[in-house]
Chain A
Amino acid sequence: MTHLDGNALAGPLSEVFRDDMTTALGRCASCGDVSVLAEALVYDAAPGWAVRCHACGDVLMTFVRTLDRLRIDMRGLTALEIPS
């Protein structure tokens, strides 16, 4: 399966956060890796988007756009650090 890099997250995350989140640091709940979200692996050829840790491959986030909302699940991220 092909995937996009984490820069693809700039669009959907801009609907929630005020800053460019692709430069934010995220900590993977599975392996503890801390990396900018731009390094994440974005599997977009799926019912939603599955965003995976570049280090261990576990799921950091999912995005599902339904008819009336965007649902973001972030259970695989234990911390986000946003440059100010």
Chain B
Amino acid sequence: MAIFSRGFSGRPRESNPDLPPGQFLTEDFPVLSAGPTPRLDTADWKFEIKTETGQTLSWNWDELTALGLEDVHTDIHCVTRWSKLGTDWRGISLDKLFEDAETSFDFVMVHSYGGYTTNLPLEDLMNGQAWIATEFGGEPLEPDHGGPARLLVPHLYFWKSAKWVRGITMQRTDSPGFWEQNGYHIYGDPWREERYW
């Protein structure tokens, strides 16, 4: 019995310098999810950052997109071993969203509509490394790929780029999220092949 995503195991190793170890190039954009796809209307959508001081920063869709979308050209790497090179996104930098955040905590828990969670160090969201992505390939982000908005943290395995993102809660310690509790690595650097505990 093999628990792997269908179609991404057993292929020969590729030797492309842009591919992290153990990864294979795909031209498709596989859809992976641990649950049903939520159908979210941007009219009802909001995003929140909550800190240990009791502060809650909140944006509705218009407020978020008014902060300005950046173009992001990047490679993405899924822990199920596919990589997609040279993808084009547009999104709001997390640097902008954290400008007014009052926190001394070093870690975050990312929450999604539908209940998914994933943990990251705050420093991995800062300095032009992470976005709330609303467009892919010049089009609004499709629901199956996390639309209307997903986190985009392309330097880590893609399970960290939570689909259907709805908020971030600051945390004192690096408590594990959904897959991190269940066997996947607490950090997830594809270049160090940090797949599992």
Asked whether B36 lies within 8 Å of A47 as measured between CB atoms, the reply is no
- Give the residue name and chain of the A residue nearest to B79 (CB): A47
B133-171 vs A, Cβ < 8 Å mask (1 yes, 0 no): 000000000001000000000000001000000000000
Q: Which residues of B contact A3 (CB under 8 A)?
A: 36
Asked whether A47 lies within 8 Å of B159 as measured between CB atoms, the reply is yes
Asked whether A11 lies within 8 Å of B1 as measured between CB atoms, the reply is yes
Summed over the interface, the residue pairs from A and B with CB atoms below 8 Å come to a total of: 77
**Could you say which of A21-29, A31-39, A58-66 contacts chain B?**
A58-66
- Give the residue name and chain of the A residue nearest to B5 (CB): A45
Within 8 A of A (CB), among B32-80: 32-37, 79-80
Taking the nearest CB of chain A, how far is it from the CB of B5, in angstroms? 5
A50 to B181, CA, bound (A): 13
Q: Which residues of A contact B115 (CB under 8 A)?
A: 58-59
Q: How many residues of B contact A (CB 8 A)?
A: 28
From A47, A57, A66, contact of B35 by CB (8 A): A57
Flag whether B98 is at the interface (Cβ < 8 A). no
Asked whether A64 lies within 8 Å of B35 as measured between CB atoms, the reply is no
A2 to B4, CA, bound (A): 15
Asked whether B182 lies within 8 Å of A64 as measured between CB atoms, the reply is yes
Which of A43, A46, A58 is most buried by chain B, counting CB atoms within 10 A of its CB? A46
Asked whether A48 lies within 8 Å of B196 as measured between CB atoms, the reply is no
| A48-B35 contact, Cβ under 8 Å, with A64-B179, A67-B196 | no
Q: Which residues of B contact A47 (CB under 8 A)?
A: 5, 32, 34, 79-80, 159, 179, 184
Asked whether A1 lies within 8 Å of B37 as measured between CB atoms, the reply is yes
Q: Which residues of A contact B196 (CB under 8 A)?
A: 64, 66-67
Asked whether B184 lies within 8 Å of A15 as measured between CB atoms, the reply is no
Asked whether A73 lies within 8 Å of B32 as measured between CB atoms, the reply is no
Q: Which residues of A contact B144 (CB under 8 A)?
A: 1
Chain A residues within 8 Å of B, Cβ to Cβ: 1, 3, 11-12, 14-15, 43-50, 52, 57-59, 62-67, 70-71, 73
List 5 tightest A-B contacts by C-beta distance, closest first: A64-B183, A11-B1, A50-B34, A66-B196, A65-B3
Q: Can you give 12 A-B contacts (C-beta < 8 A)?
A: A1-B33, A1-B37, A1-B144, A43-B34, A44-B3, A44-B6, A45-B30, A46-B33, A47-B179, A57-B35, A64-B184, A71-B182
Chain B residues within 8 Å of A, Cβ to Cβ: 1-6, 30-37, 79-80, 115, 144, 159, 178-179, 181-184, 195-197
